[in-house]
A = this chain, B = another copy of it.
Amino acid sequence: MTAPRVVIIGAGFGGLSAAKALAGAPAEVVVIDRSNHHLFQPLLYQVATAGLAPTQIASPIRSILGPQANARVVLGEVTGVDVDSRTVSLADRSLVYDHLIIATGAAHSYFGHDGWAQVAPGLKSLDDALDMRRRILLAFERAEVEPDPAERERLLTFVIIGAGPTGVELAGAIAELARRALARDFRAIRRSMAKVELVEAGPRVLPSFPAPLSAYAHRTLTRLGVDVRLGKAVSGCDADGVTLSDERIAARTILWAAGVLASPAAAWTQAEADRAGRVVVTPRLTLQGHDEVFVIGDAAHIDTGGGPLPGLAPVAKQQGAYAAAAIRRRLVGAEPPPRFRYRNAGSLATIGRQAAVVTIGRLRLTGVLAWVLWSVTHIYFLIGFRNRIAVTLDWAWAYATFERGARLITGAGSATIRPQLPRLTAK
């Protein structure tokens, strides 16, 4: 008799947490992911803004699960799930499961304007972050050799759409990059020339935080030189700029930090989905009528009172551990566990050097102390002792010198932009 098989789709925070919690369980655990690495997404904006290198926030899934004897890792793209025959389909093979955990996360949503993706890239994968880094750094390179003042202004204008944590973190990091690290290495551009525009349709930045913390973040961004525009819905994005309801911003670099859209899990399973595409799960995180199928993390919609749970790493991790515990019970024929409950340990977001906002229960923190807490927390949760050392050193170095070590332009994408590049004024 072979051991029952648990298939986990996705090795993000949710899927990996489930896989690890199944260590030693009497089952074969197969983790499928389309990339070979687990990504520490909360720090992805640092890769996009040249503060950290990809290796510092990513670890090979095989290394993480290597020591776990009952785990197998498969690099591949899932194309469908058949919950009746209990089969997961990949490009050219399929895989039968006894228990399934769908932890496929979310992608960007352009609210029906998929054409905007070309000019306003979002930030979900390492490749996204490297693309963003290339765009930002190339904009400065082009501005340095651009004789036309109007075009130079467009090149030095960075528009970030969406003022949630990712948008705020990106805006703060780009403002610092422009005003400190880059200004001293260029000859033709002065630091005052760079403009960072943070556009938000809602009435305040960081809408998921309490109002006073939003106000603090707003003030801090303004002090960094970020132009915060609230209550402005985007009606158009193209290669020359962004159109808001009542105005136009000319810009060559537009970054998308607004909507998310869940993975195709709902389509695969033909389950009920919410507006963001998330599968509406039972209080035990299972698919309606399929106790053997769990949907967790950003792919799932569950309301434990107080609205649907947010798309945060702690939610996904706790749900992964819960699904693993439920499967362990199923493996030995025990009763299912009580319904899933989320233990909210707090939220954090950073705005720049020495500035962050933190809520822990009723406690609310801003300023340097919040920033230290943010730094310590993020380093602590980074997977792998080695990465922790490297990131700590890198941050200490960047803090002391205002340098950005990861300012490399690489990748095929740079070649397509290259031909337009150098406009030198003849001597």
Contact = CB atoms under 8 A, between A and B. Distances in A.
Contacts of A408: 36-37, 54-55, 58, 60, 126
A108 interface: no
A145 interface: yes
Interface stretch (A15-23, A182-190, A251-259, A292-300): A182-190
Given A185-B60, A186-B62, A55 B405 contact: yes
A420 B423 CA distance: 43
Interface residues of A, number: 70
Interface stretch (A227-235, A309-317, A342-350, A385-393): A385-393
A76 B418 CA distance: 7
A210 interface: no
Contact of A412 (B75, B412, B418): B412
B185 A62 contact: yes
A107 interface: no
Contacts of A328: none
Specify the main secondary structure of chain A where it touches its partner.
mixed
A178 interface: no
Contacts of A93: 145, 422-426
A376 interface: no
Nearest to A90: B422
Interface in A124-158: 126-127, 130, 137-138, 141, 144-145
B424 A90 contact: yes
A271 interface: no
Interface in A65-93: 65-66, 72-77, 90-93
Contact of A92 (B55, B144, B422): B422
B36 A74 contact: no
A198 to B, nearest CB: 26
A412 B184 CA distance: 33
Given A54-B410, A93-B145, A93-B425, 18 more contacts: A37-B407, A37-B408, A53-B55, A55-B405, A55-B408, A63-B403, A66-B185, A75-B138, A75-B144, A75-B409, A76-B145, A91-B420, A92-B419, A94-B426, A130-B410, A386-B397, A390-B394, A412-B413
9 contacts: A2-B427, A34-B418, A76-B418, A76-B421, A76-B424, A77-B422, A91-B419, A96-B426, A393-B393
